[in-house]
Amino acid sequence: MTDVSVRQRVLADNEAAAAQVRARFHAQGTLVVNLISSPGAGKTTLLEATIARLAHRLRMGAIEGDIATERDAARLRRLGVPAHQVLTGGACHLDARQIQQALQASPMSGLDVLFIENVGNLICPTAYDLGEDFKVVVLSVTEGDDKPFKYPGIFSRAEVAVISKMDLLPHVNFGFEEVRTQIETLRPGVRILPLSAVRGDGMGEWGELLETRLQAKRAAAAAPAR
Amino acid sequence: MTDVSVRQRVLADNEAAAAQVRARFHAQGTLVVNLISSPGAGKTTLLEATIARLAHRLRMGAIEGDIATERDAARLRRLGVPAHQVLTGGACHLDARQIQQALQASPMSGLDVLFIENVGNLICPTAYDLGEDFKVVVLSVTEGDDKPFKYPGIFSRAEVAVISKMDLLPHVNFGFEEVRTQIETLRPGVRILPLSAVRGDGMGEWGELLETRLQAKRAAAAAPAR
């Protein structure tokens, strides 16, 4: 079997598992968000801030993907939300089968929003559907303003692009409008959210986005099939 | 053929190509450095600063790996050094066969130091020997102080760990000693270099390290075989 056909089979198996995850959370009315970024762009910090602001309104949970360590799940569990850590060993992304296995251990039932925090990597997670409603790419201003065109795969697939660490903007050389142009070129209609999880900028818009998407999902599920 | 045996064959083919690259630069007395980091940790900025400081003492060149865009090679060519861009398409790392192909297009002869700037990724490049003398991992202080234990593969394989963007240390929550402990646990004897390419801190030590390693390589090559 060639490398290409192995990869095609792996992706086909993944699609089947992703469809099962999607059906499960469609039935439960849970919004599923797949967060993708480089290491250290601030995914876990964004989730901590999201939980702190919205835990009184939304029931949230998380599946955390990492090569090694339980640190991220531990950070979220400290805030009182269910969080399950998946250790991928050497693998550079989560796949839908791993999500199914995580759900056997931690069912994540009765949630409004399930966050899946992918392994820190802008490349490998791109092709793997995890059964999410949408992908969010997180790019921090410290990473430089050339990144969307250097990593076009993820920026063309993510419906939402969070530009994180906006509090550090005065200290770095980052052309926000240049980045906006690149992202909108790769994905017309994308929602771009500048945000500082530590200072709070943009957290209101982020919360509204989650609540709007959750309501839309439940409304669509409740509508009579035609 | 199983996924595992495909991967073993790919790695075995890579080892053979890497050995050829290593023999070529052993014969030429060129030091080869494989730079690995997350996207935006500052690899290209480090190379720009290295060229600016050392171009009068060392003949340098670079092979740049990216998913897309020629930006990084263009940045270095502007400084007058030979730089060849390898576009990997979707692939998340360089392999030794791509280095051989790059050398057919750009021979990189007569150099003191050849830098290979890997694709921005802390995971996939780890297992691929490119024929380098040593790997350098670059971790920026904006990425957070939990990263070595989260990405143990690369931190156990890199002989040198550059902690970059030290100028941003006052603005972020980064425990330098915590990071040092993690890195030294994963690789006892590692050389840890705190550095700011934009401000210049640590650039002298980095230059000395390159010159010392180059002299050692040439001395070993010149010594009579026993």
ipTM: 0.88
- CB atoms near residue A89 (< 10 Å): 7
Q: Flag whether pLDDT at A84 surpasses 90.
A: yes
CA A5 to chain CA centroid, Å, is 28
With contacts defined as CB-CB under 8 Å, which chain B residues touch A168? 142, 168, 171-172
Tens digit of pLDDT for each residue in B126-169?
999 999 999 999 999 999 999 999 999 999 999 999 999 999 99
Question: How many cross-chain Cβ pairs, A to B, lie less than 8 Å apart?
Answer: 119
Residue B96: which residues within 8 A CB-CB, separation 6 or more? Answer: B14, B15, B16, B17, B18, B20, B21, B128, B129, B130, B131
Q: What's residue A4's pLDDT?
A: 74
Q: What's residue B225's pLDDT?
A: 64
Q: What is the pTM of this model?
A: 0.92
Q: What's residue A57's pLDDT?
A: 96
Contact between chains at A150 and B71 (C-beta distance less than 8 A): yes
Average pLDDT over residues B9-38: 96
Token pair recorded at residue A90: 């050497």
Q: What's residue A2's pLDDT?
A: 64
Instruction: Please state, rounded to an integer, the average pLDDT across all residues of chain A.
Output: 95
- What Cα–Cα distance (Å) separates residue A25 from each residue in A52, A113, A218? 24, 10, 11
Q: What's residue A89's pLDDT?
A: 84
Instruction: Show which residues on chain B lie within 8 Å of chain A, measured between beta carbons.
Output: 1, 3, 6, 10, 38-40, 66-69, 71, 90, 92, 119-124, 126-127, 140, 142-144, 146-147, 149-153, 165, 167-168, 171-172
Average pLDDT over residues A207-221: 96
Average pLDDT over residues A78-93: 94
Place of tokens 């002299």: B215
Give first-to-last CA distance, chain B, whole Å: 44
HEC letters along B29-52? CCEEEEEEECCCCCHHHHHHHHHH
Q: What's residue A225's pLDDT?
A: 63
Residue B51: closest CA among B30, B72, B80? B80
With contacts defined as CB-CB under 8 Å, which chain B residues touch A122? 39, 120-121
Q: What's residue B60's pLDDT?
A: 98
Average pLDDT over residues A217-221: 92
DSSP state, residue B22: H
Tens digit of pLDDT for each residue in A157-188?
999 999 999 999 999 999 999 999 999 999 99
Vertex A141: Cα angle to A85 and A87 (nearest 5): 15
Contact between chains at A153 and B10 (C-beta distance less than 8 A): no
User: Number of H helices and number of E strands within chain B?
Assistant: 8, 7
Gyration radius from chain A CA atoms: 17
- Closest-CA distance of chain B to residue A219, Å: 37
Contact between chains at B121 and A119 (C-beta distance less than 8 A): no
Confidence category of residue B5, pLDDT binned at 50, 70, 90: confident
- Closest-CA distance of chain B to residue A70, Å: 9
pLDDT higher at A89 or A190: A190
Closest in B69, B151, B153 to A150, CB measured: B69
Is A62 buried (19+), middle (13-18) or exposed (0-12) by CB count in 10 A?
Answer: buried
Instruction: Show which residues on chain A lie within 8 Å of chain B, measured between beta carbons.
Output: 1, 3, 6, 10, 38-40, 66-69, 71, 90, 92, 119-124, 126-127, 140, 142-144, 146-147, 149-153, 165, 167-168, 171-172
Contact between chains at A147 and B3 (C-beta distance less than 8 A): no
Average pLDDT over residues A191-216: 98
- Closest-CA distance of chain B to residue A156, Å: 13
Contact between chains at B123 and A127 (C-beta distance less than 8 A): no
- The Cα–Cα gap between A153 and B67 comes to 9
Q: What's residue A226's pLDDT?
A: 59
Place of tokens 């897309």: B68
Is B71 buried (19+), middle (13-18) or exposed (0-12) by CB count in 10 A?
Answer: middle
Instruction: Please state, rounded to an integer, the average pLDDT across all residues of chain B.
Output: 95
Contact between chains at B143 and A39 (C-beta distance less than 8 A): yes
Average pLDDT over residues B88-103: 95
Contact between chains at B68 and A152 (C-beta distance less than 8 A): yes
Contact B85, B98 (CB under 8 A): no
Helix, strand, coil shares, percent, chain B, to 5: 50, 20, 35
Confidence category of residue B6, pLDDT binned at 50, 70, 90: confident
Contact between chains at A119 and B123 (C-beta distance less than 8 A): yes
With contacts defined as CB-CB under 8 Å, which chain B residues touch A165? 142
What pairs with residue A64 in β-bridges?
A: A85, A117
Confidence category of residue A117, pLDDT binned at 50, 70, 90: very high
Confidence category of residue A221, pLDDT binned at 50, 70, 90: confident
In chain B, beta strands by DSSP E: 31-37, 60-66, 83-87, 113-117, 134-140, 160-164, 191-194
Confidence category of residue B221, pLDDT binned at 50, 70, 90: confident
Token pair recorded at residue B86: 């390898």
pLDDT higher at B5 or B26: B26
With contacts defined as CB-CB under 8 Å, which chain A residues touch B7? none
Long-range contact pairs involving B172-175 (C-beta distance under 8 Å, separation at least 24): B172/A168, B172/B141, B172/B142, B173/B144, B173/B145, B174/B141, B174/B142, B174/B144, B174/B145, B175/B145
Q: Amino acid identity, residue B98?
A: Q
Token pair recorded at residue B103: 């050398």
- Closest-CA distance of chain B to residue A215, Å: 34
Residue B38: closest CA among A110, A120, A155, A127? A120
